[in-house]
Homo-oligomer: A and B are copies of this chain.
Amino acid sequence: MQMIESGIRDVKHGENVRVITPVNIYGCELRDDVFVGPFVEIQKGCVIGSRTKIQSHTFICENVTVGEDCFIGHSVTFANDLFKHGAPDPSPENWLQIVLGNNVTVGSGATILAAEICSGAVIGAGSVVTKPLLVKGVYAGNPARLLRPL
C-alpha cells in the first residue's frame, strides 16, 4: 500500500495568502489575500481570485475559476463531470469549465454542478446548483431556483 501525504504542491500564489493545514492543493493559483481553511482540496488548473475565502472542508475540482471577493462556505463541493455516458468521462475536454464571477457567495454544504455563476449571486446553504446562474439573485433548493433577484 502506497501512502502519499497531502500538502501544497506547484501552487502559484500572491501576497498575504493564508492557509490552515492540513489541505491538499496542487497545480493551481491563489491570488493576493486569499484565505483557505483546513481540510480543503483544490485541484489543478484552478484560479482563486484576490480576497476570496475558501472555508473548511470544501472541494474544488479541476479547472474552476473563482473571481475576486467571493465567499465559498464550508463543505462546498464542485463537480465538473456530468457523467453523460453513464460513467465518469475520462476526457477532461468534456468536463465543465466552471467560472464564478466576483462577489459570489456560496452557502455551506452547497454542491455546484454548473458552468457559470454570475457576479453577485448568492447560493443558499445546502443547495444543489445544476444549471448556470446568469441573473444576480438569491438561489436555493435542490435543484437550486431563483428566490429573488438582487
Which A residues have a C-beta under 8 Å from some C-beta of B?
Answer: 1-6, 8, 11, 13, 16-22, 24, 30, 37-39, 41, 56-57, 59, 61, 71, 73-75, 77-79, 83, 86-88, 103, 105, 107-109, 111, 113, 120, 122, 124-128, 130, 138, 140-143, 150
Q: How many copies does the complex hold?
A: 3
* Given A17-B1, A88-B71; A126-B108 close (CB under 8 Å): no
List, in ascending order, chain B residues with CB within 8 A of A107's CB. Answer: 79, 83, 113
Whether the pair B138, A86 counts as a contact (CB closer than 8 A) is yes
Whether the pair A6, B21 counts as a contact (CB closer than 8 A) is yes
A19 to B2, CA, bound (A): 6
Whether the pair A21, B41 counts as a contact (CB closer than 8 A) is no
14 extra A-B contacts, CB within 8 A, seeds A59-B108, A87-B122: A1-B30, A3-B8, A4-B21, A38-B41, A39-B39, A39-B57, A59-B74, A59-B75, A75-B75, A77-B108, A83-B138, A86-B150, A87-B105, A125-B128
A18 to B30, CA, bound (A): 28
List, in ascending order, chain B residues with CB within 8 A of A24's CB. Answer: 20, 37-39, 56
A20 to B7, CA, bound (A): 10
Q: Shortest beta-carbon distance, A49 to chain B, in Å?
A: 15
* Given A37-B41, A39-B57, A41-B37; A86-B3 close (CB under 8 Å): no
